[in-house]
């Protein structure tokens, strides 16, 4: 049923706290009047464009990565060298720190302890590349977020921004354009986009309007602006070389809005919600092409090489853990995957292989050597992929 609860879950994590609050009533009214069989048939037809294959056909040659002994490690992001995640010692689980696991050497290393308070502080990894890790320390009791940038080569870090009065559920999107890092963060009841200059080590406000999902490709920053009052979203492009802004497209009704942008460093995927259905399209020459895939549930999408992964609708009604999807959008393959979290980087795919039936793994116990094993599949970087 595409009712109000489902509509809220369909909206990209980018807008969950903002746009949905203004649009949910309008969207609900529209989608409740849609023939459910029509929606189901439409989704099924578009899904059939992707042929199904067992995930083992792709991932069978993956190498194993065991969890570090005596350490609770939650894989969250990956660059070409490290798996990065919130960590703690098994005997002191409340004392969190930023940890990395080297994919090649299997060596685990602590990078930074949280700024310890008497309250609950968690670490959220927002971005990682070969040079930097951008992460957030979130005080869940006092609702404060502090953002840091870790320099991998020098093993040093810098405080980027501290924000008070953060909502409990908030999201941060980060992209890098050579010498600048753009970060979209919750700030004063809206999401604003900031630009951090790596060379000058200075932070400035890039977009003061309610905005989301900055992605950098070829000296251009694509992002979305959100006008809750008028139920309008705009697809924007900033040309950093010419210092010019361009509005590429607008949506002007609550039942249709842009809700995500994703890049593999070369191409851009545009996500648009139309009456409760999320449609994915490629962008070509600053224009949004016809949708190549749609679903009634797409969250936390990642895009690398010609692969996408996301959390979506459960394939089995009995499933308890989140349902991850893995697709090859160039060759139109939907890999049937029933295990744990999937992370993508330019180098390959990290995935978590359950050792037990997922329903028998207790909450909070997925990332242990008894219950699962991390595996890494490396792309054929010299081949066609």
pLDDT, position 225: 98
Residue pair 373/349 in contact (Cβ under 8 Å)? The answer is no
The pLDDT assigned to 382 comes to 63
Query: What pLDDT shows up at residue 117?
Result: 67
- pLDDT band with cut points at 50, 70 and 90 for residue 253: confident
What string of H, E and C letters represents the secondary structure of 76-128? EEECCCEEEEEEEECCEEEEEEEEEEECCCCCEEEEEECCCCCCCEEEEEEEE
Cα dihedral 304, 299, 98, 363 sign: negative
**pLDDT surpasses 80 at 8:** no
CB-CB neighbours of 13 under 10 Å = 18
What are the boundaries of each domain within the chain?
A: 71-105+107-168
Percent of the chain at pLDDT exceeding 90 = 80
Beta strands 132-139 and 121-128, pairing class: antiparallel
Residue 292: is it exposed, middle or buried by C-beta count within 10 angstroms (0-12/13-18/19+)?
A: middle
Q: What is the pLDDT averaged over residues 19-30?
A: 35
Rg over alpha carbons for the chain, rounded to the nearest Å, is 21
As a whole number, mean pLDDT of residues 304-332 equals: 95
Question: Across residues 177-187, what is the average pLDDT?
Answer: 96
Residue 233 has pLDDT above 80, yes or no: yes
Contact predicate 130/80, CB 8 Å: yes
Q: How far, in Å, CA of 189 to CA of 167, rounded?
A: 8
Mean pLDDT of 62-79: 97
Cα gap 247→118, rounded to integer Å? 46
The one-character DSSP state at 385 is: -
For position 119, what pLDDT does the model report? 76
Pairing relationship of beta strands 51-54 and 333-336 according to DSSP bridges:
parallel
Tell me the C-alpha distance between 313 and 158, whole Å.
39
Q: What share of the chain is helix, strand, coil (3-state, %, to 5)?
A: 10, 50, 40
Output the pLDDT for position 46. Answer: 53
Q: What is the pTM of this model?
A: 0.86
Residue 385 has pLDDT above 60, yes or no: no
Mean pLDDT in residue range 207-233: 96
Rounded to an integer, what distance in angstroms lies between the CA atom of residue 323 and that of residue 380?
Answer: 26
Q: What is the pLDDT of residues 344-380, one digit of tens each?
A: 999 999 999 999 999 999 998 999 999 999 999 999 8
Residue 172 · residue 183 · CB < 8 Å:
yes
pLDDT band at residue 340 using 50, 70 and 90 as cut-offs:
very high
Instruction: Among 19-23, 244-248, 293-297, name the one with the lowest average pLDDT.
Output: 19-23
pLDDT of residue 204: 97
Q: How many residues does the chain have?
A: 385
């Amino acid at each position: 049923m595409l009712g109000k609860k489902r509509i809220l879950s369909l909206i990209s994590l980018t807008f969950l706290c903002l746009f949905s609050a203004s649009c949910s009533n309008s969207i609900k009214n529209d989608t409740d009047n849609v023939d459910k069989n029509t929606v189901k048939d439409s989704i099924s037809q578009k899904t059939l464009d992707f042929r199904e294959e067992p995930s083992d056909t792709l991932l069978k040659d993956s190498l194993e990565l065991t969890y570090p002994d005596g350490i609770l490690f939650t894989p969250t992001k990956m660059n070409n060298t490290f798996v990065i995640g919130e960590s703690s010692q098994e005997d002191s689980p409340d004392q969190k720190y930023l940890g990395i696991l080297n994919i090649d050497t299997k060596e685990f290393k602590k990078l930074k302890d949280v700024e310890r308070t008497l309250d609950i502080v968690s670490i959220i990894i927002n971005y990682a590349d070969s040079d930097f890790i951008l992460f957030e320390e979130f005080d869940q009791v006092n609702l404060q977020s502090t953002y840091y940038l870790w320099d991998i080569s020098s093993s040093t870090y810098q405080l980027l921004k501290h924000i008070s009065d953060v909502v409990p559920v908030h999201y941060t999107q980060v992209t890098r354009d050579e010498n600048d890092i753009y970060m979209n963060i919750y700030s004063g009841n809206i999401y604003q986009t900031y630009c951090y200059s790596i060379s000058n080590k200075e932070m400035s406000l890039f977009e003061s309007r309610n905005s989301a999902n900055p992605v950098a490709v070829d000296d251009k920053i694509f992002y979305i602006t959100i006008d809750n009052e008028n139920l309008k979203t705009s697809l924007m492009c900033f040309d950093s070389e010419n210092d010019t802004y361009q509005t590429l497209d607008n949506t002007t009704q609550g039942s249709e809005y842009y809700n995500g942008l994703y890049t593999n460093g070369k191409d851009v995927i545009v996500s648009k919600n139309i009456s409760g259905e999320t449609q994915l399209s490629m962008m070509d020459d600053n224009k949004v092409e016809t949708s190549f895939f749609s679903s009634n549930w797409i969250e936390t999408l990642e895009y690398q090489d010609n692969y996408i992964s996301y959390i979506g609708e459960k394939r089995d009604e009995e499933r308890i853990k989140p349902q991850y999807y893995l697709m090859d959008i160039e060759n139109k393959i939907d890999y049937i995957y029933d295990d744990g979290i999937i992370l993508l980087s330019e180098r390959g795919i990290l995935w978590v292989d359950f050792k037990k039936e997922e329903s028998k793994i207790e909450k909070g116990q997925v990332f242990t050597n008894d219950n699962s094993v991390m595996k890494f599949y490396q792309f054929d970087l010299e081949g066609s992929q």
